[in-house]
Structure 1
């Protein structure tokens, strides 16, 4: 049985300027506040609640490790914890930016419980002019 990907939803996460925390043994630690956003797709619709953050480490090799933690609220009122980890590489190949993540969800309620048992991957992009991160989530089938 071959593994495939099926588009599930897109999240546009509104962000503020990064706060530089400082040098760590792994690289320079940053915190990027998450101020809101929108969710739209065939499997999920709703909003990103303000109050989350992306904890980014800029490593010496030019790779950035991302760990975004935030809460989403679906149109039916369910609140879902999201932890999204991945890598941003905008330097290895000048013409291609690699920004991929693997999300993990903790959904309350039966309507969105499928998120608790679904493996997903996301492709992401920084939309600088809009100060947001756009992520397209795909279910691994």
Structure 2
């Protein structure tokens, strides 16, 4: 049996318009909000470009204190190929840190854990390999939106 290895795929930086966040409200699953993603960039050895406006993060703050994220984005590579990126994950922190986060505070990375699993779809032949990639990542909070390190596994 071979060991699974991970390889760096890209660093993904998102710009989120927190002021335009839509409050759906309390649902059976938790507090639902939708945060618009207005742009960003991605940089990697085989993949570089811009995050196009129009994506969003469909966030749920569950009753147990966990923030669940569900993000859908369109990426445009430097050579103009379009890629659909979707990822799901969770933001974990102690209750006190989550309260500060909810008020807009920047947390120390040691105070939380942000992890995701992702999928990509692309019709451009040069990026066909993305359609079968297993992608995982970790993230950091910034003032303008999350910053992710994404890796392929396999």
Pairwise TM-score range, normalised by the shorter structure: over 0.9
Distance in 2 of aligned mates of 1:51 and 1:9: 21
The list of structure 1 runs, each at least 4 consecutive aligned residues, that deviate by more than 6 angstroms after superposition, is: none
Aligned to 1:58: 61
**Alignment deviations for residues 59-99 of structure 1 (CA, whole Å, 9 cap, x no partner):** 01110110001100001110011111001112279644110
Aligned to 1:39: 42
Partner secondary structure for residue 132 of structure 1: coil
- Equivalent position to 1:69, from 62, 66, 72: 72
Which structure has more helix as a fraction of its residues? 2
Give 1:5 deviation, angstroms. 1.2
Distance in 2 of aligned mates of 1:58 and 1:92: 12
Give 1:4 deviation, angstroms. 1.8
Correspondence 1:67-106 to 2 at 5 A: 67-91=70-94, 95-106=110-121
Distance in 1 of aligned mates of 2:54 and 2:34: 12
Matched, 1:112 2:117: no
Give 1:19 deviation, angstroms. 2.3
Partner secondary structure for residue 130 of structure 2: helix
RMSD of aligned C-alpha atoms? 1.4
Which structure has more strand as a fraction of its residues? 1
Give 1:48 deviation, angstroms. 0.1
The verdict on how the C-alpha distance between 1:103 and 1:38 changes in structure 2, with shifts beyond 3 A counting, is same
**Alignment deviations for residues 4-24 of structure 1 (CA, whole Å, 9 cap, x no partner):** 211111110100113221011
For structure 1, the residue ranges without an aligned partner over 5 or more in a row are none
TM-score (norm 1): 0.93
TM-score (norm 2): 0.86
For structure 2, the residue ranges without an aligned partner over 5 or more in a row are 98-109
